[in-house]
Amino acid sequence: MEKNPIDKIKVAENPGIMEYAHTAGGAVIRPEDIGKVKGKAQLAMRQQTNEQLSKIYRQMELLAQQAKEIKNRIDISERIYDAAIGFEPIINHTYYLYEKKDGSDILSMVAPAEWGRSFPFNQFLARVFLLADHTWKVEFFQEDNRADTIDLDELD
């Protein structure tokens, strides 16, 4: 019987699962830095989730703004319907809300610029447009309701 020149002590039983190269031409096996891998994965995860959260926040802001606009439409519609109206408003027409000298409101078909020098009201409040659902779209609203002057050129 011929003697095996390879010493059994120096031979691995399963060389394919060794943690290091077992031959001179074997591939270099370097253990992965698990902390580095996890750090990169967490960074990518945070970037993606922050981007998605940012989109959701922008959508929430838009919805909040739309809700505020609807609430403003309700408020101005209630104020207009509480005002004196000497005519039947027609859908898809523009009207003008004024505050009378006694503090009550009145809705008119006459624009502020059309009154000339004989402006009979305390102040102009808003230019409104009657929508099909009988709410009012505010096209112009006098922000400071106690302003002494109104720039009529700004309305046209």
131 vs 9, higher pLDDT:
131
> pLDDT (tens digit, 9 = 90+) per residue, 37-63?
888 999 999 999 999 999 999 999 999
Q: Does residue 70 sit within a domain?
A: yes
What is the per-residue pLDDT across 77-134, written as a single tens digit (0 to 9) for each? Answer: 888 889 999 999 999 999 999 999 998 999 999 999 898 888 889 889 889 999 998 8
Evaluate whether residue 13 is within a structural domain: no
Q: How far are the Cα atoms of 33, 105, 126, 134 from residue 94, in angstroms, in the given order?
A: 71, 16, 10, 13
Q: What is the pLDDT of residue 148?
A: 43
Q: Is the full-model pTM beyond 0.95?
A: no
- Residue carrying the six token digits 């031409």: 25
106 falls within a domain:
yes
Nearest Cα neighbor of 131 from 79, 60, 87, 74 is 74
The total number of structural domains in the chain stands at 1
Residue 15 lies in a domain: no
Range of the domain at 103: 28-156
Residue 115 counted as domain residue: yes
Sorted by sequence, the CB contacts under 8 Å of residue 126 that are 6+ apart come out as 76, 96, 97, 138, 139, 140, 141, 142
11 occurs within a structural domain? no
Q: pLDDT tier at 4 (50, 70, 90 boundaries)?
A: low
- Residue 35 confidence (pLDDT): 82
What's the token pair of residue 156?
Answer: 């046209």
Nearest residue to 105 via CA among 95, 113, 115: 95
- Whether residue 34 lies inside any domain: the answer is yes
CA dist 82 and 78 (Å) reads: 6
Residue 80 forms part of a structural domain: yes
Q: So what's the pLDDT on residue 82?
A: 92
